[in-house]
Amino acid sequence: MVPPTPSNPKIVNLPRHVAIIMDGNGRWAEQRGLPRIEGHRRGVESVRRVTEECARLGIEQLTLYCLSSENWKRPPSELEFLLDLLQQYMIQQRPKIMEHNIRVTVIGRREGIPPETLAEMDNTVAASSVNTGLRVCLAINYGGRAELIDAVRKIAADVQAGRLTPDAIDEETLAARLYTAGMPEPDLLIRTAGELRISNFLLWQISYTELWVTEVCWPEFDEAQLHAAFESYAARRRRFGGLEA
């Protein structure tokens, strides 16, 4: 329980872990007659605003869906820009990440990501590993089905090697082999741009996550929108399949 602040009097029961599907960058740009890449560029500013506000409010973890495994279907020029933008973000935001005591982690497959981008990702993860504040988990080249496949492969290898018996496999066995092992499951999933779907994001982890959708596209998502999501979350009663006491 986090007490309300003077600027946010209604926020009293904050989520521990917030996940966001950052949608609508290209749509935002096209509506204004701009190239799609301008929407992605503006979206980086939204990432900064939301991350710093989550750190200020004492949120434990923020997971951002940056690049899905399906995004490789986009035009090569847009993908090249996205990967370059990611690389520049890792370099330019590193001082702010350290200043705000933020720990960065990355989940997803590394295949297909340029070596220079991977190097900057790894540098930021390593530099921020000593930080003790907000954990920002970036889902890059991530897909929920791919994550489950990779986890099942690890279980199969353990069974084949005799380290695990089939009868011993349970939910904890699988969860411990996901990319997110050791992280809390999301309490709140936010999706921007009004789309009502999960898009292959954290399929295992969001079984009992509260959902909040806004018509606002990601480049315009700001602290006020974040507070609205938190206020909606705080008003809900989470039963996890049981009955309220």
- Do the Cβ atoms of 8 and 198 come closer than 8 Å? no
Query: Mean pLDDT throughout 1-20?
Result: 69
Residue 6, pLDDT > 80, answer no
Q: Whole-angstrom Cα distance, residue 188 to residue 234?
A: 10
Q: State the pLDDT at residue 8.
A: 53
Active site residue 141: no
Matching residue, tokens 């492969």: 153
Among 8, 23, 25, 187, the one annotated catalytic: 23
Residue 245, pLDDT > 80, answer no
Fold of the CATH domain 17-145+184-233: Undecaprenyl pyrophosphate synthetase (3.40.1180)
pLDDT in tens, 139-167: 999 999 999 999 999 999 999 999 999 99
pLDDT in tens, 31-75: 999 999 999 999 999 999 999 999 999 999 999 999 999 888 888
Among 71, 84, 150, 158, the one annotated catalytic: 71
Active site residue 23: yes
- The closest of 220, 231, 186, 192 to 7, measured between CA atoms, is 231
